[in-house]
Every structure is written in structure tokens, then in C-alpha cells.
Amino acid sequence: MKIAICIKHVPVSEDVEIDPVTHSVRRIDATCDMNPCDLNAMEMAAQLKKATDSSIDVYTMGPDGAAASLKKCLALGADEAYLLSDRSFAGRDTLGTARVLADFVKRKSYDIVFTGAESSDGATGQVGAMLAELLGMPDVADAVSVEPDGDGALLIGKKVQQGTLKIKARGPVLLAVPFGCNEPKLPTLRAQMKANHKEIHVLTGKDCDPSVLENLEVKSVVTDVYPAPEANKQAKEITGTPKEIAIKIQKLLEGSEQDV
């Protein structure tokens, strides 16, 4: 099988300072790494590769620094890595991002495309399904497992609120993998050092279909950023000895006391 995975290189911390007057945003720590649930997706892809004799291509769109996350994937079992990097790709919204990714991913006929369920920074969770639509594939949101059924189809486990749904996909499919559904391995030092020497294929606007480049206008525009108001709920404090506190909590939980 031919597997693709699309990942995002994100800031590790969401800690920011937002100036209440100018509304400018300053990141306190600019360190970036692979998006957490993309590691879960990579783990699922690597397991599938092991079980089925498949190949894995990894894609990301971002600045040069994003190559670090691609190298992590190479160390975890990906075979080829593609960095989609161009000034014209920068600052795009989810639809623009999906269009650029789709333009490159569609050139190879993948049987399965993995993404993380959402990024830890933008957290829109939209790019995966948009990419699936552009690739003409169905998508499974919150896919927690995948295995071949032996008959050319894939059996997919999908997390829903009350449990797991089993879904069968007869053709190519995109799976959006949620955080925490498996235990991602970390690359060994040896694998990482080897991966660091592998070539990263850099694709730019020149490699992109011109009609895609013409249609990258941002359609959901951020017009302002400001600090969130402090939570204004005032919790009443329960005080006393641990025993007194426990009795009050117990009564509140039983609903036998409305106030303390």
C-alpha cells in the first residue's frame, strides 16, 4: 500500500503575551515541534506499514524549520519527506492549506492518507476533511485504528462519544487521528541520526499548479486579537477542618444542601 501522512510543525507552547492596547501578540517561547496528534497518526501509519509492506511519504507545509518534524517522521519509519515551502503558501487559511497539500498529494495515488485530528495551535480540525474532499476520498474523523481486512478493503475504528464504530473503506480513504489513541514511539538516537542525513524534497510555488496558486486568497480573516477577559465567576470557598470540609462537599454532591 502507498501511505501518505500530512503533518504540522507547531509552537510547543501556546503561552503568549497580548498587548491590551496594540493587540500585538508576542510568543513567550518560539520553540516548535511536531503537532502532538500527528505523532499518533505517524504511529498508526508506521504500524500499518509494518503489517502490510507499505511505503510512507510525509508532507508538511511550512517554513524551512518544519524540516525538523519531517526528519522525526523519517526516523519513525517514513520513507520520503516533502517540504512544501514558498512565500506564497505562507499565512493561508485552512482551505488554502488544503489546496496546496492536495495539489502535491494527488500526484501519487495513495491508498490511505493520514492527518492529525487537529493542530495544537490553530485547532480548527478542518484541513484533513478539506484535503479528503479535494482528493476525492471519504474521510473518517477521529480514526483510532486501521487494519486491512484481507479482501482489499480497510477496517477502521472510529472513536465516537459512546464507544467505537467499525467502518469499512473499499477504496482510498483519509483518516484524521485524535490525540492519545495510541502510544507514539519516539525515534531512537540512531534512527534519528540516520534520518537527519536523508534528503528532504523541497517543493515550492514553481512546482504547484498555477490554478491552485491563483485560488489561495484567505477567506476567513483574523481582524483582531485581544486578551481574554479574566474568568468572572467567583467560587465560594469552603473552609474548616478537613472533616468539616468533607461533610460540606458530601452534602453538596448529594444535593441535600444548596449552600454552605
Partner 1 sequence: MSEIVVYAQITKNGLNPETAELVTAAQEVAKVSGETITVLAADDQAPLYEDALKLDGVSDVILLHTIGIGEMQTDVLSEVMADVITSRDVSTILAPSEHQARALLSRIAVKLDAGMTAACKELKPEAVDGKVVVHQIKSSFGSQGLVTCDITTKPAIITLIPGSYEAAPQTGTPKIQVIEKENLTSALEVLDFEESQSAGNLLGARRVVCVGKGAIEGENFSLAKSYAQKINAAFAGSRPMADQHWIDFEAQIGESGTVIRPEACLICGVSGAIQFTEGIKGDPLVIAINKDPKAPIFGFADYKVVADMKDILPELLAAADQK
Q: Kindly identify the residues of this chain, within the stretch 18-37, that bind partner 1 according to CB under 8 A.
A: 18, 25, 37
CB of 224 to partner 1, least distance (A): 4
Nearer to partner 1, 193 or 238 (CB): 238
How far apart CA 197 and CA 199 sit, in angstroms, is 7
How many Å apart are CA 94 and CA 128, to the nearest integer? 9
Per CB under 8 A, contacts with partner 1 among 191-250 are 215, 217-228, 230-233, 235-238, 242-243, 245-247, 249-250
* Whether the Cβ atoms of residue 43 and residue 183 lie closer than 8 Å to each other: yes
- Contact between 116 and partner 1 by CB under 8 A: the answer reads no
Sequence letter at residue 129: A
CB 210 within 8 A of CB 86: no
Contact, 100 vs 83, CB < 8 A? no
Residue 51 contacts partner 1 per CB under 8 A: no
Query: Which position among 63, 65, 91, 180 is part of the footprint of partner 1 (CB under 8 A)?
Result: 180
Minimum Å gap between C-beta 164 and partner 1 is: 5
User: Site residues for partner 1, window 118-147 (CB under 8 A)?
Assistant: 118, 123-130, 132-134, 137-142, 144
Q: Does 189 bind partner 1 (CB under 8 A)?
A: no
φ, ψ for residue 249 (rounded to 5)?
Answer: -60, -45
Q: Which residues contact 137 (CB under 8 A, 6 or more apart)?
A: 113, 171, 172, 173, 174
Number of residues that bind partner 1 (CB under 8 A): 84
